[in-house]
């Protein structure tokens, strides 16, 4: 009871903190609050609960893309069910609120006992899927109490997480309540087995299935294609200030005949875009290019949702985040196109990065010197380029199949009825 009281207090404090941030003018905080207004009446007015329903929850945009292959496979195989998609973060909801693959798209209400009870009473899901993490105590407890099957998709666990601490009993019990946990790798499975979880298995990571689907999509960016032309294009995605400063130093110091660069920052608010422009005074933003500005050798992306398509045009990809404590972003998105991938040194939390580095399909840089060295080799040694690119593409190809395993489990256990 004490653990739950502490948890509930933490939830209330989090809500208060978001409120203060919104009052201070933080746009994401305002979106977080406004998007949760009147959710009960909006769900009821939408007619939710009148049809069989599958609920898929993702924390943010990355988790949505990770779970998307499963969601879309369920949509195809069980057309009699409506799909409810929820997000915790504005960076997921605001980008995908018009996603056509779901019938209802909402922010997940704050995790209180009353909210969980009312939400599930209105939605009445036949099956719930949580992507990667998001262990909300009251929602998961309410689903368990009502005997609604809950699957964790593409779970990943580490020894330093709360579940594996002496004081993590409340959250260990949550894991025991899940119907099944599909994990990405052997180490996650061993950790779960070590605390007595027997309802877990290795499926692999559904992100491989998602990025593999990108190869079949015909999305095009004519302005980017025109910019790229026959040049050697470096696409730097999900960059943070440390990445941008490194790239700016390299750009200023290197000789680069036929070289162009696209920078897609992780944060695209106006003040940060101005900071990137200060590092690259000759650059043009994508919105300005669309409005008719002349092209430049450096293009700054100032919107969300283009990155996966941008990598298609790359000669070399740089994936940001590797100089911050949270580590790199998704390196599978460029790897699927058989592009050499450059990352910073903070990648150990991400098993796919560890594996791809070991295979020599991803190249790790710690500063300007080895960034320059790798770029020179990729530009001037065709055999090195082709080998690195081929390893990256084959790595994605060899690790597909998680979605099929999850769908097979759902079918075998007859959680849903075919119509």
Domains in the chain: boundaries: 32-204+401-413, 216-398
Q: Is a pLDDT exceeding 90 seen at residue 304?
A: no
- Residue 134: what pLDDT? 86
What is the distance between the alpha carbons of residues 35 and 85, in angstroms, rounded to a whole number?
A: 14
Q: Is a pLDDT exceeding 90 seen at residue 129?
A: yes
3-state helix, strand, coil in the chain (%, to 5): 50, 15, 35
What sign for the dihedral angle of Cα 25, 26, 31, 33? negative
- Sequence-distant (6+) residues with CB within 8 A of 337 are 214, 215, 311, 312, 314, 393
What sign for the dihedral angle of Cα 252, 257, 262, 266? negative
pTM: 0.84
Q: Lowest-pLDDT range, 137-141, 209-213, 272-276?
A: 209-213
Average pLDDT over residues 128-157: 96
What is the distance between the alpha carbons of residues 123 and 112, in angstroms, rounded to a whole number?
A: 16
- Residue 66: what pLDDT? 93
Average pLDDT over residues 357-377: 96
- Residue 310: what pLDDT? 95
Overall CATH class of domain 216-398:
alpha beta
Question: In the structure encoding, which two tokens stand for residue 374, read together?
Answer: 């790798």
- As a whole number of Å, the end-to-end CA separation of the chain is 44
| 32-204+401-413 and 216-398 have identical folds | yes
Write out pLDDT tens, residues 269-282: 899 999 999 999 99
Task: Give burial (CB, 10 Å; 0-12/13-18/19+) of 50.
Answer: exposed
- Residue 96: what pLDDT? 93
One-letter-per-residue 3-state SS of 65-115? HHHHHHHHHHHHHCCCCEEEEEECCHHHHHHHCCCCCCCEEEECCCCCHHH
What percentage of the chain reaches a pLDDT higher than 70? 99
Q: Is a pLDDT exceeding 80 seen at residue 218?
A: no
The 3-state DSSP class for residue 237 equals: strand
What's the angle, vertex CA 301, arms to CA 298 and CA 303, rounded to 5?
170
- Residue 87: what pLDDT? 97
Q: Is a pLDDT exceeding 80 seen at residue 204?
A: yes
Q: Is a pLDDT exceeding 70 seen at residue 241?
A: yes
For 99, other C-beta atoms within 10 Å of its C-beta total 14
- Residue 419: what pLDDT? 62
Report which of residues 160 and 55 the model is more confident about. 55
Closest among 238, 183, 178 to 206, alpha carbons compared? 183
| Fold classified for 32-204+401-413 | Rossmann fold (3.40.50)
Write out pLDDT tens, residues 1-22: 788 899 989 999 999 999 999 9
Mean pLDDT of the chain: 94
Q: How confident is the model at residue 167 (pLDDT cuts 50, 70, 90)?
A: confident
Q: How confident is the model at residue 219 (pLDDT cuts 50, 70, 90)?
A: confident
- Residue 102: what pLDDT? 98
Positions annotated as catalytic residues are 63
Q: Mean pLDDT: which of 68-72, 327-331, 347-351 is highest?
A: 68-72
Q: What are phi and psi of 181, to 5 degrees?
A: -120, 115
- Residue 255: what pLDDT? 73
């Amino acid at each position: 009871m004490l653990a739950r009281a502490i948890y509930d207090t933490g939830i209330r404090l989090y809500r208060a903190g978001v409120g203060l941030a919104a009052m201070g003018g933080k746009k994401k905080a305002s979106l977080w609050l406004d998007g949760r207004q009147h959710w009960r009446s909006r769900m009821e007015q939408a007619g939710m609960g009148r049809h069989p329903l599958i609920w898929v929850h993702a924390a943010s945009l990355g988790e949505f893309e990770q779970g998307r292959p499963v969601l879309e496979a369920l949509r195809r195989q069980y057309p009699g069910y409506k799909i409810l998609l929820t997000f915790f973060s504005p960076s997921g909801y605001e980008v995908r609120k018009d996603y056509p693959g779901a019938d209802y798209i909402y922010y997940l209400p704050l995790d209180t006992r009353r909210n969980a009870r009312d939400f599930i009473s209105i939605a009445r899901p036949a099956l719930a899927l949580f992507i990667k993490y998001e262990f909300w105590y009251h929602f998961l407890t309410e689903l368990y109490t009502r005997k609604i099957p809950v699957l964790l998709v593409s779970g990943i666990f580490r020894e330093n997480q709360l579940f594996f601490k002496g004081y993590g009993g409340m959250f260990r019990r949550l894991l025991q309540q899940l119907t099944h946990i599909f994990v990405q790798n052997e180490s996650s499975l061993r950790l779960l087995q070590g605390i007595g979880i027997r309802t877990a298995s290795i499926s692999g990571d559904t992100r491989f299935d998602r990025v593999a689907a990108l190869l079949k999509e015909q999305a095009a960016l004519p302005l980017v294609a025109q910019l790229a032309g026959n040049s050697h294009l470096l696409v730097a995605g999900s960059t943070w200030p440390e990445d941008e400063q490194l790239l700016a130093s390299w750009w200023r110091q290197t000789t680069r005949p036929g070289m162009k660069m696209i920078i897609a920052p992780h944060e695209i608010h106006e003040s940060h875009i101005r900071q990137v422009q200060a590092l690259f005074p000759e650059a043009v933003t994508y919105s300005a290019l669309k409005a008719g500005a002349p092209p430049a050798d450096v293009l700054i992306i100032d919107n969300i949702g283009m990155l996966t398509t941008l990598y298609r045009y790359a000669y070399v990809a740089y994936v940001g985040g590797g100089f911050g404590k949270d580590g790199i972003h998704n390196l599978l998105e460029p790897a699927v196109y058989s592009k050499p991938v450059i990352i910073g040194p903070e990648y150990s939390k991400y098993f796919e990065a560890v594996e791809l580095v070991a295979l020599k399909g991803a190249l790790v840089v710690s500063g300007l010197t080895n960034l320059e060295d790798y770029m020179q080799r990729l530009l001037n040694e065709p055999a090195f380029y082709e080998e690195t690119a081929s390893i990256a593409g084959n790595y994605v190809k060899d690790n597909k199949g998680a979605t099929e395993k999850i769908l097979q489990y759902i079918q075998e256990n007859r959680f849903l009825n075919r119509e």
